[in-house]
Amino acid sequence: MYQLNYHSISQPELSHKELDNILETAIKVNSAKDITGCLIYHNNHFVQILEGNKNDVLEVFEKIQADDRHHTVTVLWENSIDKRYFPKWNMAYHQPNHDNIIQFVNNLLLLSELSDRSTSSLLSFWATVRKILNDDKITNYEVV
């Protein structure tokens, strides 16, 4: 089992339709390759952790790097793992409305504090999520 996480910056003004397209593609590809993980999008930043067969994860990540909807793709950590830490997470999507965005961000911050951080990859993933969520301005937020 292999785990990789990265951070990237989206192109300005990424539309909800483009995020929907990312979600559709991710569900299809990740399901076919038995890849699980978590993708966070907030204030034009992506943070994602992928886990699965090493060759499959690296193949998917290669396609992610080539996607022109984001840039400055930086690997935060990659390593072999004994088990999946997101075994039931394929892809999910939540688009909070203006009234509940602060509550949703706070809930995700709490999740980042309570989640397993037993590997360096998980530690770097959740630390990066917290850094992005703690940005003072809330302009755009989705979990994909």
Segment 35-57 shows an average pLDDT of 89
Q: Return the domain boundaries, the chain.
A: 2-143
The pTM of the full predicted model, rounded to 2 decimals, is: 0.76
Ramachandran area for residue 138 (φ above 0: left; ψ -120 to 50: alpha; else beta): beta
Q: What is the pLDDT of residues 64-93, one digit of tens each?
A: 999 999 999 999 999 999 998 888 765 544
Q: How far apart are CA 37 and CA 126, in angstroms?
A: 12
The fold adopted by the segment(s) 2-143 is: Alpha-Beta Plaits (3.30.70)
